[in-house]
Amino acid sequence: MKLVLDTRFTFIAGSAVGLLFGNSLSVAIIMVPYVLLLVLLYAGAAFLGWQAWRDTLASHNQPFNMDALKRAG
Protein backbone atom coordinates (compact mmCIF):
# COMPACT_ATOMS: atom_id res chain seq x y z
CA MET A 1 0.00 0.00 0.00
CA LYS A 2 2.81 2.41 0.86
CA LEU A 3 4.53 1.64 -2.43
CA VAL A 4 1.36 2.46 -4.36
CA LEU A 5 0.93 5.78 -2.53
CA ASP A 6 4.59 6.69 -2.98
CA THR A 7 4.43 5.86 -6.68
CA ARG A 8 1.27 7.91 -7.13
CA PHE A 9 2.74 10.90 -5.29
CA THR A 10 5.97 10.70 -7.28
CA PHE A 11 4.07 10.47 -10.55
CA ILE A 12 1.80 13.45 -9.74
CA ALA A 13 4.70 15.54 -8.44
CA GLY A 14 6.83 14.71 -11.50
CA SER A 15 3.95 15.52 -13.82
CA ALA A 16 3.36 18.85 -12.08
CA VAL A 17 7.04 19.76 -12.45
CA GLY A 18 6.89 18.77 -16.11
CA LEU A 19 3.83 20.94 -16.67
CA LEU A 20 5.47 23.92 -14.97
CA PHE A 21 8.84 23.66 -16.71
CA GLY A 22 7.95 22.70 -20.28
CA ASN A 23 7.38 19.47 -22.18
CA SER A 24 3.70 19.76 -21.35
CA LEU A 25 2.46 17.72 -24.31
CA SER A 26 4.22 14.54 -23.21
CA VAL A 27 3.04 15.06 -19.64
CA ALA A 28 -0.54 15.53 -20.84
CA ILE A 29 -0.31 12.36 -22.91
CA ILE A 30 0.87 10.47 -19.81
CA MET A 31 -1.70 12.05 -17.48
CA VAL A 32 -4.83 11.55 -19.63
CA PRO A 33 -5.11 7.75 -19.25
CA TYR A 34 -4.12 7.99 -15.59
CA VAL A 35 -6.85 10.54 -14.84
CA LEU A 36 -9.41 8.57 -16.85
CA LEU A 37 -8.54 5.43 -14.90
CA LEU A 38 -8.99 7.24 -11.59
CA VAL A 39 -12.32 8.70 -12.72
CA LEU A 40 -13.54 5.26 -13.79
CA LEU A 41 -12.43 3.68 -10.52
CA TYR A 42 -14.14 6.31 -8.39
CA ALA A 43 -17.28 6.25 -10.54
CA GLY A 44 -17.46 2.46 -10.25
CA ALA A 45 -17.00 2.60 -6.48
CA ALA A 46 -19.69 5.29 -6.20
CA PHE A 47 -22.07 3.24 -8.35
CA LEU A 48 -21.54 0.09 -6.27
CA GLY A 49 -21.99 2.08 -3.07
CA TRP A 50 -25.20 3.59 -4.41
CA GLN A 51 -26.51 0.13 -5.35
CA ALA A 52 -25.73 -1.24 -1.89
CA TRP A 53 -27.41 1.77 -0.26
CA ARG A 54 -30.50 1.36 -2.47
CA ASP A 55 -30.72 -2.38 -1.73
CA THR A 56 -30.38 -1.71 2.00
CA LEU A 57 -33.22 0.80 1.87
CA ALA A 58 -35.37 -1.62 -0.13
CA SER A 59 -34.83 -4.42 2.39
CA HIS A 60 -35.77 -2.16 5.33
CA ASN A 61 -38.93 -0.79 3.70
CA GLN A 62 -40.85 -4.08 3.50
CA PRO A 63 -44.50 -3.84 4.55
CA PHE A 64 -45.40 -5.25 7.94
CA ASN A 65 -46.76 -8.78 7.54
CA MET A 66 -49.14 -9.60 10.41
CA ASP A 67 -50.07 -13.03 9.02
CA ALA A 68 -46.44 -14.18 8.99
CA LEU A 69 -46.03 -12.90 12.56
CA LYS A 70 -49.08 -14.90 13.73
CA ARG A 71 -47.87 -18.06 11.99
CA ALA A 72 -44.45 -17.70 13.61
CA GLY A 73 -45.97 -18.01 17.01
Interval 7-46: pLDDT, tens: 666 666 666 666 666 666 666 777 888 889 999 999 999 9
Assigned domain for 42 exists = yes
Residue 67 lies in a domain: no
CA 56 vs CA 25, 31, 51, 52: distances in Å = 46, 37, 9, 6
User: Other CB atoms closer than 10 Å to residue 15's CB: what's the count?
Assistant: 17
Tell me whether residue 66 is in a domain.
Answer: no
Number of domains observed in the structure of the chain: 1
Say if 51 falls within a structural domain. yes
Domain around 39: 2-60
What pLDDT score does 66 carry? 72
Residue 71 lies in a domain: no
pTM for the whole thing?
0.45
CA distances from 54 to 42, 46, 58, 59 (A): 18, 12, 6, 9
| 72, part of any domain | no
Examine the pLDDT at 49 and tell me if it is beyond 80: yes
The SS3 of residue 33 is helix
- Asked whether residue 69 is assigned to any structural domain, the reply reads no
